[in-house]
Structure 1
Amino acid sequence: MEQTKADPRARLLTAAESLLLESGFDSVSIRAVCAAAEMNPAAVHYHFGSKERLIAALLESRIGPAWFEPVARLHAESVDVRDIVDAVVGPLVTMAADPTGRLYLHLLARLVLGRYELDWSDRWFSLDPFVELLQHNVPGLSTTAARQRWAMSFELILGQFGDPLAGDRTLSPVQVETLCRFVTAGLSDEVVEA
C-alpha cells in the first residue's frame, strides 16, 4: 500500500480501475481519475499522455502476465495451431467469468477494435510474437499472411469476449469451442467440419 502511495503511476492506475468498474469507460474522465488519485488535474497527461494510454498501461499491468504466459511457453515449441488458440482463448474465458476481468476485456476490445495508435510497452500486446509463433508452426506461411490472419482472429476473439454492448454476456462452452475451431481454421487453412 505504501508503494502505491509513493508511485504516482500506480495511484492513477488504481484510481482509474476503481472508477471504470463503477462507471464504465465513457463516464470516467481524466479529471475524475486525477481527483480520485488525489493528484494534480494534469497528472494523467503527464504520466500517460492520454486516457487511452492510461487504459493501455492498466491492461498491460493487470492482464498481460496472466494472458500471455501460456502463449509464451509455447513460443519455442512446435505445436498444433489449436494449442496456440487454446492458450490465447483460455485466459479470456477465465477473465470473462469475473466482473473485473470483463471490464479488462471490454477495455481491450475498445482499444484494439477502435484502432487506437498506442505504444504498448509489453511485446505481447503486438502481433509480432503471435506472427512468429504461427510461422514457426505453419511452414511456408509468409509474415504478411500470418499478420493478416492474426489481425482478423483477434478482431473476432475480442469482439466475442469484449463487446461492451454485450454487457455481462459470457460465452457458453459450446460457443467457446466453436470460436476456437473457427479461429484455428482461419489461422491454419484447415477445413472445419460440423
Structure 2
Amino acid sequence: MPQKVSAATRERLLAAAERLLLTERYEDVSVRRVCAAAGANAAAVHYHFGSKEALVVALLEDRLGALWADRLAAVTSEPRPIPEIVDAILEPFTELAADPVGRLHLRLLAQCVLGRQVGLDLWQQQWFRLDSWSGLLPHVTERDSRRRWMLAFDLIIMRFGTDAADGRPITGHAVASLRDFVVAGLTAKETHE
C-alpha cells in the first residue's frame, strides 16, 4: 500500500507542477506552491524528486519523452543520414506547436533549457541527454559533435518554444528553413579541434 500512495503522491505533484508551470513563469512557481496545489506535505517534492529542478525535468520527460522515443529509436538504431534524424526530431516539435497544451509544454521546455534553469545532468531519459547524440556525427570529434547537437537543440527549442508559446504560427516554410540550417550545421566539415 505505501508504494501505491507514494506513486499517487508523485503523480499529484507532477500534475500540480504542470498546472502551475504551464500558466506561470518558472521562477514564480515555488516548491511550497506545488506541494500545496497537490495537497501534499511541504517536503514531498524533495522526497520524491530531490529539487524543483528535478521535478520539472521529470515532468517534461514524462509528458514529452514518449513523443520522441519510438521515432528516435528507429533513426538511431543503425547509421542513418542526418536529415532523416533531424526530421525525426522536428516532427514532434511541429505536432506540439499545433496543440495549445503542446505549445505550453514547449514554452516550459524553452524556459528550462535555454534559461539553463535545470542542469544537463538531471535529464534521465536517453533522448534528453547529449551523450545519446554525440555518436551520430561520425565525421567530427565527440566534443565537436556534442557542441553541434547542443547548438542544434538550442536553436530548435528557441524557435518552437518562443514562437509557439507567443501564439505565432510556425509555418511549413519556417520549419523547412530551420531543418536545412540544422542539417547544414550538423554535417559541416570540422574545421578545428
Partner in structure 1 of residue 63 of structure 2 = 62
**Is 2:168 the counterpart of 1:169?**
yes
The code of the aligned residue for 2:173 comes to V
Q: Retained in 1: the 8 A contact 2:35–2:44? A: yes
Q: Give the % identical residues.
A: 46
Partner in structure 2 of residue 52 of structure 1 = 53
**Is 2:156 the counterpart of 1:157?**
yes
Task: For residues 54-109 of structure 1, give each alpha carbon's deviation from its aligned partner in whole angstroms, at most 9, with x where no partner exists.
Answer: 11000111101112321111112332211111100110010111122112211222
User: For 1:170, what is the secondary structure of its paired residue?
Assistant: coil
Task: For residues 22-66 of structure 1, give each alpha carbon's deviation from its aligned partner in whole angstroms, at most 9, with x where no partner exists.
Answer: 434344322221111111122112222222211100011110111
Consecutive unaligned residues in structure 1, runs of 5 or more = none
Mapping for residues 174-185 of structure 1, pairs under 5 Å: 174-185=173-184
The code of the aligned residue for 1:174 comes to H
Shift in CA distance, 6/73, structure 1 to aligned 2, threshold 3 Å:
closer
Partner in structure 1 of residue 41 of structure 2 = 40
Q: Retained in 1: the 8 A contact 2:86–2:179? A: yes
Aligned-residue Cα RMSD (Å) equals 2.2
Q: Retained in 1: the 8 A contact 2:106–2:165? A: no
76-85 or 163-172, which deviates more: 163-172
Task: For residues 137-156 of structure 1, give each alpha carbon's deviation from its aligned partner in whole angstroms, at most 9, with x where no partner exists.
Answer: xxx32111211110111111
Partner in structure 2 of residue 131 of structure 1 = 134
Partner in structure 2 of residue 146 of structure 1 = 145
Q: Alpha-carbon deviation of 1:6? A: 5.2
The code of the aligned residue for 1:133 comes to L
TM-score (norm 1): 0.85
Mapping for residues 8-157 of structure 1, pairs under 5 Å: 8-115=9-116, 116-117=118-119, 118-135=121-138, 140-157=139-156
Consecutive unaligned residues in structure 2, runs of 5 or more = none
- For residues 86 and 7 of structure 2, the distance between their equivalents in structure 1, rounded to whole angstroms, comes to 40
The code of the aligned residue for 1:114 comes to G
- For residues 73 and 6 of structure 1, the distance between their equivalents in structure 2, rounded to whole angstroms, comes to 31
Q: Retained in 1: the 8 A contact 2:72–2:88? A: yes
Q: Retained in 2: the 8 A contact 1:149–1:186? A: yes
Q: Retained in 2: the 8 A contact 1:75–1:133? A: yes
